[in-house]
Structure formats: structure tokens, C-alpha cells
Amino acid sequence: MFDGRIVGGEDADINDHLYVVSVEQYERHICGGCILNENMVLTAAHCTKEKKAETFRVRAGSNHTKTGGTVVNVTRVVQHPKFHQHTLNYDVCILELVASLTIGIKINLLLINEKVPIGAEAEAAGWGKTSENGDMASHLQKVKIKRITNGKCNLSYPGRITSAMFCFFQDMKDACQGDSGGPLVYDNKLIGQNDCDSKRPMLDGRIVGGEDANINDHLYAVSVQRDQSHICGGCILNKKMILSAAHCVDGKEAEIFQVRAGSNYTIMGGTVVNVIRILQHPRFHLQSLNHDVCILELVASLTIEITINLPLINENVPVDAEAEVTGWGSRWEGSDEAFHLQKVKINRIADSKCNLSYHAQNLCDSKRPMFDGRVLGGEDANINDHLYLVSVQQNERHICSGCILNENMILTAAHCVNRKKAKSLQVRAGSNHTKTGGIVVNVTRVLQHPRFYPYSLNYDVCILQLVASLTIKIKINLLLIDEVVPVGAEAEATGWGKTSVKGDVAFHLQKVKIKRIADRKCNLSYLGRITAAMFCFFEDMKDSCHGDSGGPLVYDNKLIGILSWGHGCALPQYPGVYVNLAESSIHTFITNVTDESF
């Protein structure tokens, strides 16, 4: 669940661990690694998944990730052929270097099927965090940890521990993902590498309890593929149109996708046709996965003759009705995708019963905050009382809120615009509505906090620079650096979020009063994820959430925070999490970019 760390460890000397390297992308440490020979480095596959070899390099022979030692670029990434990015099974890859390392080191591996006994003490080394909420270590760390049984480990990670994994732990000592790929050594042998990746959902699609199916009985079923690798299922609507889930292809170019039709298998047989266009539902929302549907248009017609019947508009499927699911998903928790097409019979359950199971902590799109933005329990507000507030838009559609810092700079949440092109963004200022009125100005540059981390949402703040100055005259006051907002203090959040859990985004600007709760209490809800760059606010049946991500939180006439993330909305056990603008690094970032003191 957390970014890499060596917790409870101590400084190590690289001369005692010459096999350890820092794997870097764009000159920044992302994972640990281990020298196999002068041209090959072993690391975790998830560290390099879907990234180009030329963006990587390794730093060897240094106690530090930023200085010293030898830096060599990577020329090829060779991943284990059975690596599964969602279950993290077979999470191993080898990086081939463009030049030989000058470090002379010979690493010993365990023999095939050689056992490491339960309770055996091994040593992990790397540059992970030295405390739960701390920064990455500047100096190489080491820690002693002991093997625990897979049975015990599976109690913590239900069913996910496969024969390609094992678990190590010691009270208050640990190593994790910023050291993903880092070596684990026992009896002078490399026995494993660290594997902790919160970037992914817990379990990808699966057909559990099913059986082999025959494609001839399910000719409508296709494998949607990316670069010839199965990623999702799909359904033939007609010879040139495939129905699939929008999240499978969101944010990606059509030309990297193909569909394989008419085969029991995802890797052979049938007909493979490239995709030419992706048509997503206009109301698809990646965070809530609402309206999660898209149509893939093919470059050529399929030769399969099949007609699929859709339900009539608003036709209901009765509770307890039995339906059949087909696909190539995992057949049990933690397994790889099925080799052969599977089918399973399942029954519909009532929405009310399903909602009891899917509180926010159970939803698994960990790439993003859990839910779409809403101001729940609020009331209409007047923009003239909140002139600092703007609607941040992409292609003229509201995606997040923001706050005017000056006539050319807008503050918002970094995750709102992460990996989006500045020219696709606009802000609408001075209007009660997101679609009409006020002033619309295009964005020319996106400046993210340099320590923003999209998976933990730490330092979730960025500044949008506008192409032209706003005519609205507004002066915003920030908290002073490290100024504290007392627990129980009442603040005001504003935005255009949903006014009910199942409702649409508000047409008119909303406002709501919420109170600060203690970080310790908030961390009980969010299992330690609350850092010094965050704080939490809540009031019974009142909340704001992610479609208002980036929206301002005001206390004592000062801008104290912007909405970042949260689980659900107005759930008493899950407060809203806001960026703490008084945190020194964030405050300094804002003042440096704007060249103003607040």
C-alpha cells in the first residue's frame, strides 16, 4: 500500500552491498536493483512496465541515488513472460545496459526450488523511506527481516501470495516499493527482491468458479489487446464495432489496440484487427467508473457473422436472474489470466445489497482518487462571495475546481491535470455555473509540485499558468508556513460537486461547512496514508469530494487547503483529505512559482 521504505533500518556501506543499484527514470530514483553481471541488472517488472528502455539508467557503486558511483543507460528491458501487472505475479525483469559496469561482483542465486526456512533472517538494502511518512533515504539503508509462512501472509493479503512470492517481516522493520526490485539476501545468496506496488488495483477482472467455454457458443466475445497483449474483454456489436469498458482504453491512442475475435485463446487463432478510433461515453468518469463503456471502431470488418441483442431502454434485469459471463480473467485469487476462454453463471443481486459491500475502501481503481467530486449536504453559494474559485476544465468540460492566486496563476490539485496537455485545459472564472457565464481563459503551462506522487497523492498540488490575465481582481491569503489549523476548526469548502451520492454534478455553485479532525483519527481510517502535506475535514452528512478536487478550503478568511482525495462521501469513517497549504515545501512551491508572498 505504501511507497518504498526501509523502516527500522540503519545506514549501510555500498562497499558491503556492491550488488545494489539505484534504478532511475529520467534521472530520478524509482526502484532498487541488483547486478547479475556487468551488463545485466535484476529488478521488479512493475518498475518498468510499459516504459521505454531509453528512459532508464542505473547508478552503481554509490551510497546515494543522486551522486557518485557509475551511471549507465539501459538499452533493453526484458520482462518475465508470465508477469501480471495486476496480481504482480512473476514481478521480475532484467535490464540490459548499453555499456559494461566496471564493478566486479558475482552474485549467487538460490538453486531451483531451494527453500528458505521459516524464521530465517535475511537482509534487505535500498533507499526507501526511513519512516512511514518520511522522504526517501539519502543514504543507502539496510534492515534485517525474517521469513514468515505463506499461510500467515495470505491472511493479510487474501489469496494473493503465489508460489512465485514469499513474505518477510520484523516488528517495526520493513522494506517496500520505492525499493521495489531491491535485493533480499540470505546466507550470502540473492533469494528475492522487494515487491510492493500501490499503483495497481488489487485484483483485475476474473472468472472465478467457471469452466472452459467454446468460442463457437460465444462468438460475440473478443479479446481487447494492447500491443498484442490481452488487457480486457469485449463484445461484437457489428462487423466494425466492439463494445468494451472505457477504463480499459482511457487516455490511450487507438492505434496501439487490437481485437482478437473467433478464438478460444488470447494469444493465437481467430482474426486480429486493429482499432482505428475509440468512442467513449461522454459521461464516463475514470474515478467513479460511472458510465464505464466505450466502442472501438476497427480498421477493417470482421468476417464473423454475429448479431447481439441489447436490452430495451430502461429494461430491467430482475433480482436473482441468472446470467452468463465469459472471458479470460483470472480463475482464482492471485492467478494469471486464463489461457482458454471461461464461462460462469452468476445471479443478479439487489443494488442496495451490493452497495453494502462496496463502501469506498473496497473500490479498486487505485490509479486515482476513489470517487467523483461532490459537495454533499451543502447549499447554493454566490460566486461574488467566492471570486477566488474557478472551474478547471478540459476540452470545455468541468473536471476539477481551482483557486485564483493572481491574474495569471490558478492553484488546483495535481492529479486533476496529471499527464494532460496544457493546451487542452481552460478555466472558467466569475460564474456560478461551470457551463455558462464568467470568463474562460486557456492554460499555457502546468507546473506540478516536484514531489507530487500520483499514487499516494502526496504533494497533490499544481499551478496552472494562463495565456491571458483574468480581469477579476482578487487577493487570496494563505496560511503562513507551518501555521496550524486547530482540530475542530470550522472551514468552508466550495465547488460544483454532487449534491447527493447518486446525483449529477451540481449545476449551481455549492458551499459547505466542515470541521478539522485530528490527523491521528484520520490515519485510523486511511491506514497511515495521511502525511504532513495533508489534513482531514468532516461534518455529519456534509462533505466535498473529487470532482471538486482542487477546490478551496477557507478558514479565518485564509486559503488553508485544496481538496485532494477521500473514500466515498459523507461517510463518518472516511473524512475528506485536503492538501495542507501551510506545509513548508508546498508553501515555498507556491510562493516561488508566483513570485509573490501571501
42 within 8 A of 496, measured Cβ to Cβ: no
User: What pLDDT, on a 0 to 100 scale, did the predictor assign at position 338?
Assistant: 62
Residue 555 CB contacts under 8 Å (≥ 6 apart), including other chains: 485, 489, 490, 491, 492
CA distances from 394 to 14, 399, 416, 457 (A): 47, 7, 10, 21
Give the per-residue SS3 of 165-194. Answer: CCEEEECCEEECHHHCCCEEEECCEEEEEC
* Dist. CA 409–CA 405, nearest whole Å: 5
* Dist. CA 476–CA 561, nearest whole Å: 12
To the nearest whole number, what is the mean pLDDT of the chain?
Answer: 78
Whether 340 is catalytic is no
Which residue is catalytic, options 244, 263, 549, 564?
Answer: 549
User: What pLDDT, on a 0 to 100 scale, did the predictor assign at position 286?
Assistant: 73
Percent above pLDDT 70 for the chain: 75
How many C-alpha atoms does 260 have within 13 Å on its Cβ side?
21
Map residue 12 onto helix, strand or coil: coil
Q: How do residues 327-343 score in pLDDT, each as one tens digit? A: 776 544 334 456 677 77
Map residue 351 onto helix, strand or coil: helix
Cell 478547471 belongs to which residue?
392
User: What pLDDT, on a 0 to 100 scale, did the predictor assign at position 17?
Assistant: 81
* Dist. CA 596–CA 217, nearest whole Å: 67
Map residue 441 onto helix, strand or coil: strand
Which residue is catalytic, options 195, 460, 543, 548?
Answer: 460
Check pLDDT > 60 for residue 506: no
228 within 8 A of 258, measured Cβ to Cβ: yes
User: What pLDDT, on a 0 to 100 scale, did the predictor assign at position 501?
Assistant: 45
Q: How do residues 353-388 score in pLDDT, each as one tens digit? A: 676 554 333 232 222 333 333 345 556 778 888 899
What is the mean pLDDT of the segment spanning 154-170?
71
Residue 498 CB contacts under 8 Å (≥ 6 apart), including other chains: 372, 373, 374, 375, 376, 504, 505, 506, 545, 547, 569
* Dist. CA 330–CA 160, nearest whole Å: 12
What is the mean pLDDT of the segment spanning 107-127?
78
249 within 8 A of 294, measured Cβ to Cβ: yes
User: What pLDDT, on a 0 to 100 scale, did the predictor assign at position 481?
Assistant: 83
User: What pLDDT, on a 0 to 100 scale, did the predictor assign at position 547?
Assistant: 55
* Dist. CA 598–CA 591, nearest whole Å: 7
Most confident of 57-61, 99-103, 195-199, 308-312: 57-61
- Per-residue confidence band for 180, with pLDDT thresholds at 50, 70 and 90: low
> What are the beta bridge partners of residue 493?
512, 553
Q: Which stretch of 413-417, 438-442, 526-530, 582-586 has the lowest confidence by average pLDDT? A: 526-530
The strands making up 342-347's β-sheet, listed across from edge to edge, are 211-212, 342-347, 322-327
Check pLDDT > 60 for residue 541: no
**What's the CA angle centered on 328, arms 325 and 332, to 5 degrees?**
85
> What are the beta bridge partners of residue 57?
24, 73
Map residue 17 onto helix, strand or coil: coil
Q: How do residues 263-278 score in pLDDT, each as one tens digit? A: 888 878 889 999 999 9
Check pLDDT > 50 for residue 502: no
User: What pLDDT, on a 0 to 100 scale, did the predictor assign at position 215?
Assistant: 83
156 within 8 A of 186, measured Cβ to Cβ: no
* Dist. CA 294–CA 278, nearest whole Å: 7
**For the CA atoms of the chain, what is the radius of gyration?**
26
User: What pLDDT, on a 0 to 100 scale, did the predictor assign at position 81?
Assistant: 85
Q: How do residues 294-303 score in pLDDT, each as one tens digit? A: 999 999 999 8
409 within 8 A of 470, measured Cβ to Cβ: no
Q: How do residues 394-444 score in pLDDT, each as one tens digit? A: 988 888 899 999 999 999 999 999 888 999 999 999 998 888 899 999 999
User: What pLDDT, on a 0 to 100 scale, did the predictor assign at position 454?
Assistant: 79
For residue 216, what is the DSSP state?
G
What is the mean pLDDT of the segment spanning 543-559?
77
State the amino acid at position 416 in one-letter form.
C
Residue scoring higher pLDDT (466 or 118): 466
Question: What's the distance, CA 29 to chain centroid?
Answer: 18
CA distances from 597 to 79, 459, 476, 481, 484 (A): 49, 20, 10, 11, 18
Whether 415 is catalytic is yes
User: What pLDDT, on a 0 to 100 scale, did the predictor assign at position 193?
Assistant: 58
User: What pLDDT, on a 0 to 100 scale, did the predictor assign at position 540?
Assistant: 60
CA distances from 267 to 221, 338, 464, 591, 594 (A): 15, 11, 44, 53, 53
Check pLDDT > 60 for residue 579: yes
What is the mean pLDDT of the segment spanning 177-199?
58
Residue scoring higher pLDDT (345 or 279): 279
Which residue is catalytic, options 415, 546, 567, 587?
Answer: 415
Buried b (16+ CB within 10 A) or exposed e, 421-439: eeeebbbbbbbbbbeeebe
Residue scoring higher pLDDT (487 or 344): 487
User: What pLDDT, on a 0 to 100 scale, did the predictor assign at position 171?
Assistant: 56
- Per-residue confidence band for 510, with pLDDT thresholds at 50, 70 and 90: confident
Q: Which domains does the chain have, with CATH numbers?
A: 6-193 (2.40.10.120), 211-327 (2.40.10.10), 364-598 (2.40.10.10)
Q: How do residues 275-288 score in pLDDT, each as one tens digit? A: 999 999 888 877 66
User: What pLDDT, on a 0 to 100 scale, did the predictor assign at position 419?
Assistant: 83
Q: How do residues 204-249 score in pLDDT, each as one tens digit? A: 344 555 567 788 888 888 889 887 778 888 888 889 999 998 888 8
Percent above pLDDT 90 for the chain: 25
- Per-residue confidence band for 177, with pLDDT thresholds at 50, 70 and 90: very low
Environment class of residue 407 by beta-carbon count within 10 Å: exposed (0-12), middle (13-18) or buried (19+)?
A: middle
Map residue 344 onto helix, strand or coil: strand
> What are the beta bridge partners of residue 404?
410
Measuring CA to CA, which residue among 367, 287, 362 is closest to residue 86? 367
User: What pLDDT, on a 0 to 100 scale, did the predictor assign at position 300?
Assistant: 94
Element (H, E) at 95: strand 93-97
User: What pLDDT, on a 0 to 100 scale, did the predictor assign at position 465?
Assistant: 97
The number of residues in the chain equals: 598
Whether 549 is catalytic is yes
User: What pLDDT, on a 0 to 100 scale, did the predictor assign at position 444?
Assistant: 96
Measured in degrees and rounded to the nearest 5, phi and psi for residue 307 equal -120, 125
Check pLDDT > 50 for residue 448: yes
Map residue 228 onto helix, strand or coil: coil
Check pLDDT > 50 for residue 188: yes
User: What pLDDT, on a 0 to 100 scale, did the predictor assign at position 409?
Assistant: 95
Residue scoring higher pLDDT (110 or 361): 110
Residue scoring higher pLDDT (305 or 533): 533
Q: Which stretch of 91-100, 104-113, 433-442, 478-487 has the lowest confidence by average pLDDT? A: 104-113
